[in-house]
Amino acid sequence: MSLNRIDEIRHMISEIGKRQIEYYKFFPEYGNKIVKALGNYLGDEKSVALAPASGDFNFSTMYRGEGLGFEDGKYRIPIMVKFDNLNDEGSCLHRFLLFCTKNGDELNISINNDPFIQVKISDTETVCSKIFDHLKTAFLSNAWFVENNPDYQMNKIGFKV
């Protein structure tokens, strides 16, 4: 028995629904797992938390899973890292988004708009290493901008050199 065209589309919608249910069951727990693993990887568990996906955010608010969800067909996990200043009581917050897809026991993960990496579900070390590289690159880019753009400093935005 062959499916007519409407049934073919209904079948596709059903498969998408199954995948969404799988993602909603899996990724919230995985997001918490990555937050904990990244805190351990960086050496300060209390410096990493889930964040909202956009808008203002602060580290003292528990966002729990408010920012988790689908974006452009991928599952989004927003994470924030708090960096305490070395010279005073202040801190710097950095938010990034993990975009994930799942196929069996393998994940494709992208940090913001970086290329996807493929990892096993159990391989949090590789994910944390890629996040660490992303963080270093983000701050190196900001440092270069401050050092090489005098208008940036004249507007009193950014770091004092």
Q: Where are the domains of the chain?
A: 5-148
Q: Check residue 155 and give its pLDDT.
A: 46
How far is residue 118's CA from residue 9's CA, in Å, rounded to a whole number?
30
Report which of 126, 156, 157, 159 is spatially closest to residue 140, judged by C-alpha positions: 159
How far is residue 29's CA from residue 20's CA, in Å, rounded to a whole number?
15
Give the pair of three-digit tokens for residue 27: 């990724």
| Residue 100 C-alpha from the chain's centroid | 9
Q: What is the pTM of this model?
A: 0.79
What is the torsional sign of CA 42, 139, 136, 76? positive
- Residue pair 79/66 in contact by the 8 Å Cβ criterion: no
Q: Per-residue pLDDT tens for 14-37?
A: 998 888 899 899 999 999 999 999
Owner of token pair 């290493």: 129
Got the DSSP string for the chain?
-PPPHHHHHHHHHHHHHHHHHHHHHHHHHHHHHHHHHHHHHHT-GGGEEE--SSS---TTS--TTTT-EEETTEEEEEEEEEEE-SSSS-EEEEEEEEEEEEETTEEEEEETTSPPEEEETT-HHHHHHHHHHHHHHHHHHHHHHHHH-HHHHHTT-S---
Q: Per-residue pLDDT tens for 66-117?
A: 899 999 889 999 999 999 877 777 788 899 999 999 999 999 999 998 999 9
Q: Check residue 29 and give its pLDDT.
A: 96
Q: Per-residue pLDDT tens for 32-48?
A: 999 999 999 999 999 99
